[in-house]
């Protein structure tokens, strides 16, 4: 069985002056409006429906016991579909170093309120920017005066943190009498009423195993992501996943680390125990049935809120092992982390117990 081990790499980043984003006119159209604009620095397109998403992780727990945590800032299209990984040339592997140099207060806040539930914050942050931040039109290099590389990375995280601070989910729910409990349950209508009355629009409410664990707040933006006005918007795309009644809102507690992964075949795998070939997904199993998840293309483990990547297993010539590869490249264990990348020239050989689901 594969052991789940993912730790993001941190490389040095030297400081330099901060470039200003271009100035947008006060009458900039609202994203996803009927107005058309060729100025994609001041009109976010095609990702004009911006989502601020939050997690409530309980097993393992992340963040303060009286606060939700940041998941990400996502640019969905106006029809609810989305693009991802839009510019590989601007992907980063050193978010911690960038923010430490450019915005240390943002980094400090994220270290408390933007947490990866298996402890790999850096890898989580990289994933969020690389997948979503590179698809925001107003964060493109052309949208800066005297652009300096990775300036948009700082703006992405600063704006996400700013909007998260404007949405104190725990306090909003608590004010409506909705508090974490091991025994009490709530209705979807109760939760929606508590949140929409504060946000101004309906919120996408998501559950895992009958328990509240994620919220999506939708916005349109007047101007740029960096400096524009976020206007609450009606959700488009995927909706709430909770049942209408009996929703649990569990206290933050429970185990703190995962144990192992299993594979789930997208097409029929072949091979004997110890060896595997074919394509499929890699899912995670832990001591808690509610804490599973999957691996994305870079090798990072996500419990929800993303899409499992297709992994290709190739049987080894020794007849007992196999290697893995994704769209990112070969997979290898490097510095106690599973990494799948084009830079991996020698993939790691893994064993297999003969079981798929």
Tokens representing residue 257 in the block: 């680390």
Sign of the torsion formed by the C-alpha atoms of 162, 166, 167 and 173 = positive
* pTM summary value: 0.68
Candidates 128, 152, 163, 214; catalytic one: 128
Percent of the chain at pLDDT above 70? 79
Q: At residue 31, does pLDDT exceed 60? A: yes
Q: Is 199 a catalytic site residue?
A: no
Q: Which domains does the chain have, with CATH numbers?
A: 49-248 (3.90.730.10), 260-341 (no CATH)
Higher pLDDT, 40 or 255: 40
Higher pLDDT, 19 or 254: 19
Q: Distance between CA atoms of 22 and 231, rounded to whole angstroms?
A: 20
φ/ψ (deg, to 5) at 347: -65, 150
Q: Is 132 a catalytic site residue?
A: yes
Least confident of 17-26, 107-116, 171-180, 239-248: 17-26
pLDDT band at 294 (very low <50, low <70, confident <90, very high): confident
Tokens representing residue 45 in the block: 């397109």
pLDDT in tens, 332-341: 887 767 888 8
Tokens representing residue 315 in the block: 């049987």
Looking up tokens 């707040």, which residue turns up?
A: 217
Q: How many CB atoms lie within 10 A of CB 48?
A: 22
pLDDT in tens, 209-220: 999 999 999 999
Candidates 122, 126, 127, 132; catalytic one: 132
Q: Is 128 a catalytic site residue?
A: yes
Strand segments (E) across the chain: 49-55, 69-76, 185-186, 204-208, 211-222, 229-232, 247-248, 260-265, 278-285, 293-295, 301-302, 311-315, 322-326, 329-334, 337-341
């Amino acid at each position: 069985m594969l052991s789940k081990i993912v730790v993001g790499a941190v490389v040095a980043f030297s400081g330099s002056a901060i470039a200003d984003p271009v100035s947008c006119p006060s009458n900039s159209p609202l994203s996803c409006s009927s107005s058309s604009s060729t100025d994609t620095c001041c009109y976010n397109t095609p990702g004009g429906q911006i989502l601020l998403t939050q997690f409530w992780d309980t097993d393992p727990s992340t963040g303060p016991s009286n606060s939700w945590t940041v998941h990400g800032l996502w640019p969905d299209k106006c029809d609810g579909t989305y693009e991802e990984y839009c510019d590989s040339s601007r992907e980063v592997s050193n978010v911690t170093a960038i923010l430490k140099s450019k915005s240390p207060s943002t980094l400090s806040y994220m270290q408390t309120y933007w947490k990866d539930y298996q402890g790999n914050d850096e890898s989580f942050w990289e994933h969020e920017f690389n997948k979503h931040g590179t698809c925001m039109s107003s964060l493109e290099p052309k949208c800066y005066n005297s652009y300096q590389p990775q300036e948009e990375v700082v703006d992405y995280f600063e704006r996400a943190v700013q909007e998260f601070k404007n949405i104190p989910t725990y306090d909003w729910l608590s004010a409506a009498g909705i508090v974490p409990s091991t025994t009490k349950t709530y209705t979807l209508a109760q939760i929606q009423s508590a949140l929409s009355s504060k946000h101004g629009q309906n919120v996408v409410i998501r559950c895992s195993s009958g328990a509240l664990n994620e919220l999506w707040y939708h916005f349109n933006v007047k101007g740029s992501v960096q400096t524009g006005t976020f206007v609450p918007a009606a959700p488009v795309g995927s909706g709430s996943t909770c049942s209408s009644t009996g929703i649990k809102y569990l206290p933050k507690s429970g185990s703190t680390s995962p144990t192992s992964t299993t594979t789930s075949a997208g097409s029929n795998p072949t091979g004997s125990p110890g060896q595997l070939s074919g394509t499929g997904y890699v899912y995670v199993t832990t001591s808690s049935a509610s804490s599973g998840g999957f691996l994305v293309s870079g090798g990072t483990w996500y419990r929800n809120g993303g899409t499992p990547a297709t992994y290709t297993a190739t049987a080894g010539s020794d007849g007992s092992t196999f290697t893995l590869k994704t769209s990112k490249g070969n997979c290898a264990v490097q510095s106690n982390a599973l990494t799948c990348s084009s830079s991996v020239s020698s993939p790691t050989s893994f064993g297999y117990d003969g079981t798929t689901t």
